[in-house]
Amino acid sequence: MLQPVCPLSSIAPGEAYRWETDPPVAIFHTEDGEVFAIDDTCTHQDASLADGWLEGCEVECPLHASKFDLRTGRVDGPPAKKPVRTHRVEVTDGMVHVALSEGAQS
C-alpha cells in the first residue's frame, strides 16, 4: 500500500530523508533526480543510512563504510554482510509515496 511520506521538494538532490516509521526508512533523492527508499538502519550496526554518503545509486554507511545499492539493497563489502530491504517509491503530484516491502528485515 502506497503511503504519502513527504514532498519531493523537501529533499534536495544528493540528500536523504529519514522516515520515522517502524523500522525507519531512508528516502534518497539522487543527483540524477531518481528517488529510492531502503531500510534506514545499516545491517551491520545501529547507524542511519540517511546520514550516509550518497554517490550515484549507492549510499555508504556513515560509520563503517559498507556501501548499499539503492536499487537492489545489496551490500558491496564489509563490515555489513546482509542487504537492506528496498521499498517501492512513486512520486505523484510532487509527493513521495512509499509502499513498504513485505517480509522480514535482514
Torsions phi, psi for 43 (to 5 deg): -75, -5
Q: Which of 2, 24, 51, 106 binds another protein (CB under 8 A)?
A: 51
Check: CB of residue 16 under 8 Å from CB of residue 2: no
Count of helices and strands (H, E) across the chain: 0, 9
Q: How many residues bind another protein (CB under 8 A)?
A: 14
- Per CB under 8 A, 62 contacts another protein: yes
> Which residue do the cell numbers 547507524 mark?
47
The window from 26-34, 63-71, 84-92, 98-106 that contacts another protein (CB under 8 A) reads 63-71
The window from 4-12, 21-29, 61-69, 94-102 that contacts another protein (CB under 8 A) reads 61-69
76 contacts: CB under 8 Å, gap ≥ 6: 58, 66, 67, 68, 69
CB of 31 to another protein, least distance (A): 13
Residues that bind another protein (CB under 8 A): 47-48, 50-53, 62-65, 77-79, 81
